[in-house]
Structure 1
Amino acid sequence: MLSVIVITKNEAQHIGRCLASVAWADEIIVLDSGSSDETVTICRQFTDKVFITDWPGFGPQKQRALDKALGDWVLSIDADEEVGPALKAEILQAMQQNEVQGFEIPRLSSYCGKQIKHGGWWPDYVLRLFRRDVGRFSSEVVHERIEVVGTIRRLKNPLWHEAFVDPTEVLHKINAYSSLGAEKMFNHGKRSSLGKAIGKGLWTFIRTYFVQAAILDGAEGLMLAISNAEGSYYKYLKLRELCSKTASK
């Protein structure tokens, strides 16, 4: 039995395609943290296991979803991701391998309408399929990970990921994730300065565009490198602000 788990908030633009792509699963569990759009209504067209909760952070929220799963296997998927027919067939076959406890899946992401093959985005292996009894999520508020005890292997067919639809979404996610990233680093005792923020931003652009060859992805590759640099810069700038506030108390 396979359980699919998804967390949502205001994902009406994506969630229908996501859930339709996993409608073949034995169970779909959705945890929504207060959507103000049609997300919950759309989700209920695919499953009766839709739960409304508060927001404790990505790791704890996904663990809540996992705790509700009943399947022997669990597929964790984000609202802006889809499982294609080839990956579906591979997942069903992989679940028959008794000696394996989890599988990493290559993720093929799109940026403003274009699939990105460079810039560190491909192949972006993510651990998403695992046996429920040996897996759990870390407690991080962002960039959480699935921790699995046992043998991990890789699948071949990609998970489709619509990372950014347009520049407006890029800016929204830069702001949201830089705040969460700063909070995470602060909680781990990290410190920052204006110079460090500038340096991290510059190096992120150079690494993405030149070292990881986003230059080969054309205009969208350049846009990706710039937005990655902005995200890094603002993350360290916000960390500096958190440190300053703490020092002034």
Structure 2
Amino acid sequence: MGTPSGCRNRPVGRGLEYRLVFAPFYNGKPLRLSVVLITQNAAAQLPDCLASVAFADEVVVIDSGSNDDTVALAERYGARVVAKEWLGFGRQKQFAVEQASNDWVLCLDADERVSPELAASLVRILESPAAAVYRMARRNRFLGRWLRHGEGYPDWSARLFDRRHARWSDDTVHEKLLYAVSPGTLEGELLHESAEDLGRYLEKQNRYSSLAAVELHRRGRQASVATLLLSPMVRFFKFYVMRLGFLDGFPGLVHISIGCMNSFMKYAKLVELRQAGRK
């Protein structure tokens, strides 16, 4: 069995398992696909992520100043590492896409990994793509449990695309893939480790709510008392009640509660920014 050229210097183990699963699709040739990631101090999550994309002929990691083993691990797995100062999530991801050698790109985060079922679907699709953008279901693991309802699943996300037909928005946070074509759908799931521990997850959500508030302020958005109150309430009802988040037990309750707090804090911080601007 031929091994894709981009995988030759990668460690075996899980990466080898993926190559064996997809041997019928390779036909001795690498899959013309670039996997791109943006990283900063992601050494704990990166190996599982990179092992899960051993079928791709190129992996590009855009690193913004990691001081752990992120860069060394990425290079060990055969990735091409490019150092780039932080531009915000949207612009950083678009920069990563522009560094790819192939037009077909799969964008991942370091705490995500491609399931074997998703990878098999992806490889089959790329033999003869019927669309220029493909969505996939993302399953979130939170407090040790894979969420199956609420906000946690299916968290549809467009990540596989022909870069000639799509690009990332310039948003600092909550970036979106912009495209004007009808997307296709992949089978299988993108697996996301939402939180190593609750403390770090809360710290991340606090940062995200601050970035979101700054972005809203930049756009001239306003927030009333009604917005502060209704936004988290609507979010809770939609995902915990209507989409059965309560079936995910304690992790599901904590997950949606933090999401609602995030909504409240985002608008509270926006009010603070607007008040500071009037002084």
**Which TM class, normalised by the smaller chain length?**
over 0.9
Q: Structure 2: which 5+ runs fail to align? A: 1-31
Q: What is the aligned partner in structure 1 of residue 173 from structure 2? A: 142
Q: What is the aligned partner in structure 2 of residue 197 from structure 1? A: 228
Q: What is the aligned partner in structure 1 of residue 192 from structure 2? A: 161
Identity %: 36
> What is the letter of the counterpart of residue 73 of structure 1?
W
3-state secondary structure, aligned to 1:184: helix
Q: What is the aligned partner in structure 2 of residue 110 from structure 1? A: 141
Among 44, 49, 64, the alignment partner of 2:95 is 64
> What is the letter of the counterpart of residue 86 of structure 2?
W
Larger Rg belongs to: 2
Task: State the 1:71 CA deviation.
Answer: 1.1
Task: State the 1:194 CA deviation.
Answer: 5.0
3-state secondary structure, aligned to 1:165: coil
CA distance in 2, matches of 1:112, 1:140: 29
Q: Structure 1: which 5+ runs fail to align? A: none
CA distance in 1, matches of 2:60, 2:94: 12
Task: State the 1:39 CA deviation.
Answer: 1.4
CA RMSD of aligned residues (A): 1.6
3-state secondary structure, aligned to 1:189: coil
Return the TM-score normalized by structure 1: 0.94
Q: What is the aligned partner in structure 2 of residue 245 from structure 1? A: 276
Aligned length: 248
CA distance in 2, matches of 1:150, 1:209: 32
Listed as ranges, the matches of 1:46-195 within 5 Å are 46-194=77-225
Among 61, 64, 67, the alignment partner of 1:33 is 64
> What is the letter of the counterpart of residue 160 of structure 1?
L
Conserved in 2, the CA contact under 8 Å of 1:130 and 1:148?
A: no
Q: Once structures 1 and 2 are overlaid, which stretch shifts more, 157-166 or 202-211?
A: 202-211
> What is the letter of the counterpart of residue 221 of structure 2?
K
3-state secondary structure, aligned to 1:34: coil
3-state secondary structure, aligned to 1:156: strand
Task: State the 1:8 CA deviation.
Answer: 0.6
Among 223, 246, 260, the alignment partner of 1:229 is 260
CA distance in 2, matches of 1:42, 1:98: 32
Post-superposition CA distance 1:108-143 (Å, at most 9, x none) = 111111111111321111111111222211111111
Conserved in 1, the CA contact under 8 Å of 2:39 and 2:66?
A: yes
Task: State the 1:185 CA deviation.
Answer: 1.4
